[in-house]
Structure 1
Amino acid sequence: MNKADSASFAGGDCESRSTEVRPQNVRRQAIPLLIALCLWILTPAVSLAHADKLTVDNVTVGFSGTCRVGEWTPIAVDVTGPAGLSVSLRVTVPDADGNPAISTFGPATLDGHEPRTIVGTIKPGQLQSEARIEIVAEPTVLASETVAISALPHSTRLWAIPDEIPGFVDAADSLNARRAPSDAPAVRLLDVSDVGQWPAAPYAWASLDVIVLRGSTTVSPAHSKMLRRWVHEGGRLILLIGSESEAYLEGPLAEWVPIEVSGQLELRDLGMLRPLVPRSGTIRIRNPVSAAQLNLPAGQILAPGNNGPLLARAPFGFGSCTISAVDLHDGPLARWDGLVDLSLLMAETDADNTAALTQSDSEIALTGVSHLLTQVISSVDRFDSVAARSHWEVIGWLLLYLLLVGPIDYLLVHRLLRRPHWTWVTLPCWVVAGAVGGTILAQNSNASTVEARQLDVWDIDTASGRSRLRSWVSIFSPETRRYEVAFAPNNAVGLNSGSNDAGRIAWAAPAEEGFRGQYRSGGLQLGRPSYRYSPEGQAIENLPLNVWSSKVLTADWAGAPAPQTDWIASDLVDDGTGRLQGTLTHHLPGPIEEWFLAYGNTVYLPEENRETGETLPLEPDALWQPGGAIRSRMLKGFLTGVTLALVKRQEGTGEDVVRNRESYDPLERDPYRIVRMLSFYENAGGADYAGLSNDAVRQLDLSHLLDLQRAILFGRIDRTAATYTIDGESAGDDARETFVRIVLPVRRAVATD
Structure 2
Amino acid sequence: MPKLVRFVIALTLLLMVSAGSWAAPPTAQQALVTLNVSAGYDGYFREGQWTPLLITVSNQGDAIEGRLVARQERSPALTSTFSTPLSLATGARQTLFLYVTLRNFAQSVTLELIDNNNEIITEIPVLIRHLPPRDKLYVVVSQASSGTFDLSSIATGGNQAVQANWQPANLPDKASALTAVNWLVFSDADSGELTLNQRRAVSEWVNAGGHLVVTGGANWQPTAAAFTDLLPLTPNGTTSVTDFAGLVTLAAGAVEADALAGDFVITTGDLLPDAQVLASSSTGTPLLTRRRYGGGTVDYLAASPLIAPLRGWGALDQLWLTLLTSVDVQPSWASGFSNIDVGIDGVELLPGYSALPEVTSLIGFLVLYIVLVGPVNYILLARINRRELAWLTIPVLIVVFSVLAWATGFNLRGNEVLLSRLTVVQSWANSDTAYAEQLIGLLAPRRANYTLSVNDNRLLRPVERVNQTGRFFGNTSTAVEVYQGATFAAQNFPVDASFVASFSTSASLPAPAISGQATISYEVDGRQGVRGTLRNDSDFTLTNPVILARGLVIRLEEDLAPGALFIFDEASYLLQATGSAPPTPIELVRGQVTNNNSAYYYNRYYYSEDYIGVDRTALDIIGGDRYETLNYYGIGYQNVQTDDETRRQQRFLNAFMNDQYNSTARANNVYLIGWGDTAPFDEEVAGAGWRTVDSTVYITALAVDHQASAAGTEVVASPDQFTWVALEREGGDDLSPTNLSLYGDNTVVFRYTPVPSAVLTEVTDLSVVFGFSENSGNNVIAIELWDWRSRAWETFTIVPGKTRINRPERFVGPLNAVQLRISRDAADGYRSVGQLGVEQTGRF
Q: Contact (CA 8 Å) 1:604, 1:630: kept in 2 or not? A: no
Query: Where does residue 506 of structure 1 map in the other structure?
Result: 461
The higher-RCO structure (CA 8 Å, 6+ apart) is 1
Query: Where does residue 23 of structure 1 map in the other structure?
Result: none
Shift of 1:123: 2.6
Query: Where does residue 318 of structure 1 map in the other structure?
Result: 295
Query: Where does residue 297 of structure 1 map in the other structure?
Result: 273
Q: Contact (CA 8 Å) 2:516, 2:535: kept in 1 or not? A: yes
Pairing of 1:318-717 with structure 2 (within 5 A): 318-331=295-308, 338-348=315-325, 371-381=338-348, 453-476=420-443, 480-487=447-454, 501-509=456-464, 529-533=479-483, 535-546=485-496, 549-560=499-510, 567-568=513-514, 570=516, 583-598=533-548, 601=550, 603=552, 605-607=554-556, 615-627=557-569, 629-634=571-576, 660-664=610-614, 667=632, 684=659, 686-687=660-661, 689=663, 711-717=670-676
Distance 2:553 2:309 in 1: 45
Query: Where does residue 721 of structure 1 map in the other structure?
Result: 680
Question: Could you say if the C-alpha distance between residues 64 and 592 of structure 1 is closer, same or farther in structure 2, counting changes exceeding 3 Å?
Answer: same
Query: Where does residue 178 of structure 1 map in the other structure?
Result: 158
Distance 2:426 2:577 in 1: 20
Q: Contact (CA 8 Å) 1:725, 1:731: kept in 2 or not? A: no
Shift of 1:558: 1.9
Query: Where does residue 493 of structure 1 map in the other structure?
Result: none
Question: Could you say if the C-alpha distance between residues 313 and 343 of structure 1 is closer, same or farther in structure 2, counting changes exceeding 3 Å?
Answer: same
Question: Could you say if the C-alpha distance between residues 127 and 729 of structure 1 is closer, same or farther in structure 2, counting changes exceeding 3 Å?
Answer: farther
Letter of the 2:421 partner, please give it: Q
Question: Could you say if the C-alpha distance between residues 91 and 348 of structure 1 is closer, same or farther in structure 2, counting changes exceeding 3 Å?
Answer: farther
Matched residue SS, 1:106: strand
Is 1:195 the counterpart of 2:174? The answer is no
Question: Could you say if the C-alpha distance between residues 140 and 245 of structure 1 is closer, same or farther in structure 2, counting changes exceeding 3 Å?
Answer: closer
Query: Where does residue 85 of structure 1 map in the other structure?
Result: 63
Query: Where does residue 128 of structure 1 map in the other structure?
Result: 106
**Percent of aligned positions with the same letter in both sequences?**
15
Question: Could you say if the C-alpha distance between residues 586 and 309 of structure 1 is closer, same or farther in structure 2, counting changes exceeding 3 Å?
Answer: farther
Query: Where does residue 730 of structure 1 map in the other structure?
Result: 690
Query: Where does residue 261 of structure 1 map in the other structure?
Result: 235
Question: Could you say if the C-alpha distance between residues 296 and 374 of structure 1 is closer, same or farther in structure 2, counting changes exceeding 3 Å?
Answer: farther
Question: Could you say if the C-alpha distance between residues 528 and 679 of structure 1 is closer, same or farther in structure 2, counting changes exceeding 3 Å?
Answer: closer
Query: Where does residue 386 of structure 2 map in the other structure?
Result: none
Letter of the 2:182 partner, please give it: D
Letter of the 1:730 partner, please give it: W
Distance 2:496 2:182 in 1: 37
Query: Where does residue 45 of structure 1 map in the other structure?
Result: none
Q: Contact (CA 8 Å) 2:153, 2:161: kept in 1 or not? A: no
Instruction: Pick the aligned partner of 1:742 from 679, 683, 700.
Output: 700
Distance 1:310 1:327 in 2: 11
Matched residue SS, 1:287: strand
Distance 2:309 2:120 in 1: 57
Q: Contact (CA 8 Å) 1:94, 1:124: kept in 2 or not? A: no
Distance 2:93 2:226 in 1: 28
Point out the structure with the larger strand share: 2
Matched residue SS, 1:621: coil
Query: Where does residue 813 of structure 2 map in the other structure?
Result: none
Distance 1:622 1:582 in 2: 14
What is the root-mean-square deviation in Å for CA atoms of aligned residues? Answer: 4.9
Shift of 1:713: 2.3
Shift of 1:229: 3.6
Distance 1:676 1:283 in 2: 49
1:595-615 Cα offsets, whole Å, 9 max, x none, are 34456x5756245xxxxxxx3
Is 1:209 the counterpart of 2:182? The answer is yes
Matched residue SS, 2:206: helix
Distance 1:724 1:635 in 2: 46
Letter of the 2:321 partner, please give it: L
Query: Which segment drifts farther, 455-464 or 624-633?
Result: 624-633
Query: Where does residue 145 of structure 1 map in the other structure?
Result: 123
State TM-score, norm by structure 1: 0.60
Give the length in aligned residue pairs.
551
Distance 2:299 2:34 in 1: 40
Distance 1:122 1:273 in 2: 40
Matched residue SS, 1:128: coil
Matched residue SS, 2:558: coil
Letter of the 1:587 partner, please give it: D
Letter of the 2:324 partner, please give it: A
Matched residue SS, 2:673: strand
Distance 1:680 1:278 in 2: 35
Shift of 1:660: 4.2
Shift of 1:386: 7.8
Distance 1:679 1:298 in 2: 30
Point out the structure with the larger helix share: 1
Query: Where does residue 358 of structure 1 map in the other structure?
Result: none
